[in-house]
Amino acid sequence: MTTNHYVHPEVLVETDWVKQNLGKPGIRLVEVDVDTKAYDAGHIPGAVGLNWQSQLQDQVRRDIVSKHEFERLMSEAGISPGDTVILYGDNNNWFAAYGFWLFKLYGHKDVRLMNGGRVKWLNEADKELTPEKPKTTPTKYQVSEPDLSLRALLPEVLKAQSDKRHNLVDVRSPDEFTGKVIAPPGMTETAQRGGHIPGAKSIPWSTAINQDGTFKSADDLRKIYLSNAGVDPGKDTISYCRIGERSSHTWVVLKYLLGLPNVKNYDGSWTEYGSIVGAPIEK
Amino acid sequence: MDHTTRVYENVFEMMPSEANPTPIVRINRLNPNPEFSLYAKLEWVNPFGSVKDRAAWSLLRDLEERGELGDGRGLVEPTSGNTGISLAALARARGHRMLAIVPNKIPHEKKVLLKIAGAELEVVSDELCPAPGLGDGSINLAKTYAKAQSHKYVMPNQYENEKNVEAHIKTTGPEIWKQTEGRVTHLFTSMGTCGTVTGIGRFLRSKNPNIKIIAVQPTEGHDVPGLRNVSQLEVAKLFEPSLIDDILEIDFNLAYTRALELCQNEGLFAGPSSGLILEGALQIAARDQRGFGVMIFPDNIFKYTSNMTKHIPALEPQETKATI
């Protein structure tokens, strides 16, 4: 477990903690990557791999994975509702954070992120990797209480924009915020227009991390988000990015590390908002 | 082997050395500074077409000597192309397997060449998640293979391996010293792994502490394959800032236009990184007035036709359209 004066330090574990707890009953490791190439090449022993695009999203309509499908995925991965699930992944836990948000949304009680993600584990000499997939015993996972209050949908975002009573946190790169580009180079998911939601504060997701990929201390994060960027802890908050994965990373920071009272992730994000006819946009 | 008649028993005998240097050629029409001679060292004359032959050969021999290869164990290496091509060609000619991990932004020609050279290829997106200090996706994936499947893969790691630097201390540096008869005053080079600048820099400084070492970099957001901007040098553990007198940051578009000028005015079919280096050398020649400069031209233009047409649309051949 991580201290660092976070409001909810229990959502993070360090790589050393993971090493000490490998293979213990009730502790399950899940790697979430943009594609499973990295997982297939090598992962933490015992970890199952999930693909955030093909497994954690609905494959027909644009939506998060359905409750039924989430239950099937968990059952196949041999995960029980009472397990402690440790998520980690590439790109500095972007997709692991998206997975974390989904686990929380579907009511999994004890889910944590491995601080620093797979790159930290990879670069530590005493940490092992294996290409062997774990043998899992299927379970009958059932979602008990989905927590839909963690998710912002478009109507709420439009209302938040017009009421001006929310913190809107745009975590994309400065060039996406200003509308210079609609998406990072090479990305296929895009929008009709560039820019940002009027009133949103630009705080790129990467400002929350250290050189080694771990989260900055609570004091530093408070300074970045509250003092410097002006996020008001007395207001409700919505984080967004382009498709909802980078904003999951910031959602973890705001909700758990800084303990803001009501933080939602807008997974529709710019690819939805930037394509809505008549939606107000600032550049 | 006989370097005068150029008769060799195998390709390995052709690798560069003080006795078998790559040529240096004077820049004539593009250099307006009569008191400042500029010579280009044509690294594409190496057997596999680039300066990376030197590092690849040094890395490979070191692994062989230490018994790290064989019994089903091959190489895995992250590469923007040239190291991979050299390493794959050399490795396959020695009977080893090679897995190259390449960023998706490298030119199509290089990806095909890697496969022609006999490498297995994995293409990764390095641009997806620009973040401070995390290193490249291709480097991390290669490290993953080397760590998780160490019975199958060993990673030479050109970004950290001192043998990369040693290749230039033993070959490129002495070649330049001999070819210029010790008259060299300025060295101009680009930076990727930084093995070239550090190796040649160390050697030349040991011969003459006053030699100026100038590194040339493309501006941020560039697409010049193989090169790194200062902001991207985090992964280059061989970067030795104390050796370098000036780091010039040059508009990356000039890499392409200067390369074209070299092709069309000097008869030197130089690639974009050479174009960038020429621009840097001309700036320093104008500043310092007198000198004897050697520029390392890493590779030639043949791998970059698609990049060239992207940056200089006038190069795109006009297709004849049928009219009705």
Question: Could you read off the pLDDT of B183-208 as tens digits, one per residue?
Answer: 999 999 999 889 999 999 999 999 99
Whole-number pLDDT of residue B15: 97
Question: Using the beta-carbon criterion (under 8 Å), do A42 and B147 form an inter-chain contact?
Answer: yes
Question: Using the beta-carbon criterion (under 8 Å), do A34 and B128 form an inter-chain contact?
Answer: yes
Question: Using the beta-carbon criterion (under 8 Å), do B124 and A43 form an inter-chain contact?
Answer: no
Determine the distance in angstroms separating the CA of A241 from the nearest CA of chain B, rounded to an integer: 13
Question: Using the beta-carbon criterion (under 8 Å), do B125 and A184 form an inter-chain contact?
Answer: no
Which residues of A lie inside 8 Å of B (Cβ-Cβ)?
34, 37-38, 41-43, 90-92, 94, 118-119, 122-123, 128-131, 173, 184-187, 206, 209-213
Instruction: Look at residue A184 and tell me whether its pLDDT is greater than 90.
Output: no
Candidates A31, A90, A128, A242, partner chain B, best to mutate (most B CBs within 10 A): A90
Instruction: Look at residue A15 and tell me whether its pLDDT is greater than 90.
Output: yes
Please state, in angstroms and rounded to a whole number, the distance separating the CA atoms of residues B147 and A17: 20
Whole-number pLDDT of residue B132: 41
Interface check B221 vs A, CB under 8 A: no
More reliable by pLDDT, A167 or A244: A167
Please state, in angstroms and rounded to a whole number, the distance separating the CA atoms of residues A60 and B293: 62
Secondary structure of residue A84 in the 3-state scheme: strand
Tokens of A204: 């790129």
Amino acid identity, residue B301?
I
All residues of chain B having their beta carbon less than 8 Å from the beta carbon of residue A128 are 147
Whole-number pLDDT of residue B81: 78
Determine the distance in angstroms separating the CA of B112 from the nearest CA of chain A, rounded to an integer: 20
Average pLDDT, integer, range A105-109: 96
Whole-number pLDDT of residue B138: 83
Please state, in angstroms and rounded to a whole number, the distance separating the CA atoms of residues A225 and A232: 9
Determine the distance in angstroms separating the CA of B232 from the nearest CA of chain A, rounded to an integer: 13
Q: What is the pLDDT of residues B140-161, one digit of tens each?
A: 899 999 999 999 999 999 888 9
Instruction: Look at residue B133 and tell me whether its pLDDT is greater than 50.
Output: no
DSSP string, B61-88: HHHHHTT-SBTTBEEEEE-SSHHHHHHH
Average pLDDT, chain B: 91
Tokens of B321: 């359209």
Instruction: Look at residue B272 and tell me whether its pLDDT is greater than 60.
Output: yes
Determine the distance in angstroms separating the CA of A211 from the nearest CA of chain B, rounded to an integer: 5
Tokens of B157: 């790691």
Average pLDDT, integer, range A19-35: 93
Question: Using the beta-carbon criterion (under 8 Å), do A42 and B128 form an inter-chain contact?
Answer: no
pLDDT confidence of B20, banded at 50, 70, 90? very high
- Lowest-pLDDT range, A40-49, B85-94, B117-126, B128-137? B128-137
Question: Using the beta-carbon criterion (under 8 Å), do A43 and B148 form an inter-chain contact?
Answer: yes
| Of B127, B140, B148, Cβ closest to residue A185 | B127
| Of B129, B148, B149, Cβ closest to residue A91 | B129
Instruction: Look at residue B292 and tell me whether its pLDDT is greater than 80.
Output: yes
| Of A43, A119, A131, Cβ closest to residue B135 | A119
Question: Please, is A116 exposed, middle or buried when counting C-beta atoms within 10 Å of its C-beta (0-12, 13-18, 19+)?
Answer: buried
Candidates B106, B141, B147, partner chain A, best to mutate (most A CBs within 10 A): B147
pLDDT confidence of B226, banded at 50, 70, 90? low
Average pLDDT, integer, range A272-282: 96
Kind of pairing between the strands at A84-89 and A166-170 = unpaired
- Lowest-pLDDT range, A63-72, A140-149, B264-273? A140-149
Instruction: Look at residue B227 and tell me whether its pLDDT is greater than 80.
Output: no
Instruction: Look at residue A112 and tell me whether its pLDDT is greater than 90.
Output: yes
All residues of chain A having their beta carbon less than 8 Å from the beta carbon of residue B130 are 173, 184, 206
Average pLDDT, integer, range A260-267: 96
Whole-number pLDDT of residue B119: 95
Q: What is the pLDDT of residues A118-131, one digit of tens each?
A: 989 999 999 999 99
pLDDT confidence of B231, banded at 50, 70, 90? low
| C-alpha torsion angle, residues B200, B203, B209, B210 (rounded to 10) | -30
pLDDT confidence of B129, banded at 50, 70, 90? very low
Determine the distance in angstroms separating the CA of B106 from the nearest CA of chain A, rounded to an integer: 13
Instruction: Look at residue B322 and tell me whether its pLDDT is greater than 70.
Output: no
Please state, in angstroms and rounded to a whole number, the distance separating the CA atoms of residues A89 and A110: 18
Q: What is the pLDDT of residues B162-190, one digit of tens each?
A: 999 999 999 999 999 999 999 999 999 99
Amino acid identity, residue B113?
L
pLDDT confidence of B130, banded at 50, 70, 90? very low
Whole-number pLDDT of residue A245: 86
| Of B105, B128, B144, Cβ closest to residue A41 | B144
How remote is the C-alpha of A134 from its chain's centroid?
Answer: 24
Share of residues in chain B with pLDDT > 90 (%): 75
Determine the distance in angstroms separating the CA of A219 from the nearest CA of chain B, rounded to an integer: 20
Instruction: Look at residue A148 and tell me whether its pLDDT is greater than 60.
Output: yes
- Alpha-helical (H) ranges within A149-217 are 154-163, 174-178
Q: Which helix (H) or strand (E) holds B214?
A: strand B212-218
Annotated catalytic residues of A are 241
Q: Are A170 and A197 in contact (CB under 8 A)?
A: yes
Question: Using the beta-carbon criterion (under 8 Å), do A209 and B129 form an inter-chain contact?
Answer: no
All residues of chain A having their beta carbon less than 8 Å from the beta carbon of residue B127 are 184-186
- Residue A27 neighbours by CB distance under 10 Å: 18
Question: Using the beta-carbon criterion (under 8 Å), do A92 and B129 form an inter-chain contact?
Answer: yes
Instruction: Look at residue B236 and tell me whether its pLDDT is greater than 50.
Output: yes
| Chain A, chain B: beta-carbon pairs less than 8 Å apart | 69
User: Running DSSP on this structure, what letter comes out for residue B243?
Assistant: G
Secondary structure of residue A139 in the 3-state scheme: coil
Whole-number pLDDT of residue A283: 94
